[in-house]
Amino acid sequence: MNSNFLPVLDKALAMELFESGRFDEFYEYLVQPLHEELYRRQHFEFIEELSPGQQLLLAYDYLRTQVLQGGFIQFIQNGYVLLLPDIIEQLLIVKANNMAKVIDDVLKVYVLNRESLDKETSVEEFAKLYEEFKEFEILDQRFIELNVVTERIMIEYAYKNLSSFLTDQSVN
């Protein structure tokens, strides 16, 4: 699927960031315009207009931020669980199979405990979820262990497929 939203960016700069090993900057350079457009539109349906690679960068950025702050329980409680099936599919496309397995395991735990994990919680109830669902501790740790490698796989994919992530501003 092609993207209906390709930000106008400097392709040479994107290539320079990647080729000089500034991978975090490269990632941010590609994902920031997606966040800005999502914020401008104020609805997640926007993600459906993106290429699978763009969808992965944007959704994974939400996943990474949430999981590194408060684990998968926070990710789920903040209402992002619906991103998981697509993230799994997209991780398989870029060949980040180990992370896809972790996310699939998260989804399985969620499905088995959907009622408890979906309900609105107070701060105290939210804290108790961490005690009740210890299986997420292992999955959180596995995510952390695989995160850097997964990000690298994703940005290598993006570099090899830059035309699916941006329109070169020098052409305009």
Give the model's confidence band at 114: pLDDT under 50 very low, under 70 low, under 90 confident, else very high. very high
Domains, the chain: 8-162 (1.20.1420.60)
Alpha-carbon span 7 to 96, nearest angstrom: 25
pLDDT computed for residue 1 by the predictor: 60
Which amino acid is residue 160, in one-letter code? K
Q: What is the mean pLDDT of residues 30-48?
A: 92
Give the confidence band of 145 by pLDDT, cuts at 50, 70, 90: very high
Average pLDDT over the chain, rounded to an integer: 94
Q: Which residue has the higher pLDDT, 45 or 156?
A: 156
Asked if residue 166 lies in contact with residue 11, where contact means CB atoms within 8 angstroms, the answer is yes
Angle (deg, nearest 10), helices 52-77 and 135-160: 160
- Write out pLDDT tens, residues 52-72: 999 999 999 999 999 999 999
pLDDT for residue 168: 86
The SS3 of residue 9 is: strand
Contact 139, 72 (CB under 8 A): yes
pLDDT band for 43, please (50, 70, 90 cuts). confident
Separation of alpha carbons 14 and 115, rounded Å: 44
